Amino acid sequence: MSEPVLEAVNLTRAFGGVRAVDGVSFTLPRGGSLGIVGESGSGKTTTARIVVGLEHADAGQVLAGGRPRAGRVRGRADRLARAREVQMVFQDPYLSLDPRLSVEAVLRETLRLHFPGTDHTRRVRRLLDQVGLGTRVADALPRRLSGGQRQRVAIARALAVEPAVLVLDEAVAALDVSVQAQILNLLGEIRAHTSIGYLFITHDLAVVGCVTDDVIVMRRGRVVEAGPTAEVLDAPRDPYTRLLLDSVPRPGWDPGRIAAEHRTV
């Protein structure tokens, strides 16, 4: 097994006396893909926000490359270095993209911040090609793009800093099913050609079955089941996991078939 690129050790976070995250642990190997699945309120998004650094843990720790991510950040260099460890792609890219900046300007601004003093023209072109957009959208503002195109821009911006881990929080939930498939295939291609690791936060077991190697199932802040994705979807042990599988509203849903035959990574 590859060395861990990301580890969560006994993460705990409470809000108003309620434990939103309660002793959550997992390991993501370099180049791996891990899904965190659960219904709304299960604690999966809070876990993701702790990993990225948008929330703090009351107990436990997050390690990136064996180094703790918590603690005091000393200066701009440390802050940028931490950003290059983990990047996040949100559900609604329109809210995370500056509506006043063109696609090219969004990417150039990120590159200027992290890699100053170099010509970014070629890198911008490569990023656009990498996410399947090309230079035809370089001058477009976010409002001129479709939802799928905006999400590709958000992915390109995250990739621009060359992170070790990409956290995707319901990143395809707002897209049409056909566009979801395109984005998931794109992410699979990117992972196949790089050493980036993925942490997928989702309520959608079809997404988990397609793009993750391993999965943890959360309920009320705790992990109720964990293991290789194909095994968990094919023969879930916990009643809550079985309930999630039974509630999938898609016709023809077959978790074993999706995990075994339609894996894109």
Residuewise pLDDT in 10s, the chain (265 residues): 567 999 999 999 999 989 999 999 999 999 999 999 999 999 999 999 999 988 999 999 999 988 888 666 666 777 777 778 899 998 887 788 889 999 999 999 999 988 887 789 999 999 999 999 988 899 999 999 998 999 999 999 999 999 999 999 988 887 888 888 899 999 999 999 888 999 999 988 888 888 899 999 999 999 999 999 999 999 999 999 988 888 765 554 454 444 443 343 3
Size of the chain in residues: 265
Tokens 């996410």, located at residue: 131
Contact 13, 55 (CB under 8 A): yes
Distance (Å) of CA 159 to CA 56, 133, 181, 243: 24, 14, 20, 35
| pTM for the structure as a whole | 0.88
Pairing of strands 4-15, 18-29: antiparallel
CB hemisphere CA count around 164 (13 angstroms) = 20
Contact 83, 136 (CB under 8 A): no
Say how far apart CA 52 and CA 184 lie, in whole Å.
21
Structural domains in the chain, CATH included, are 4-261 (3.40.50.300)
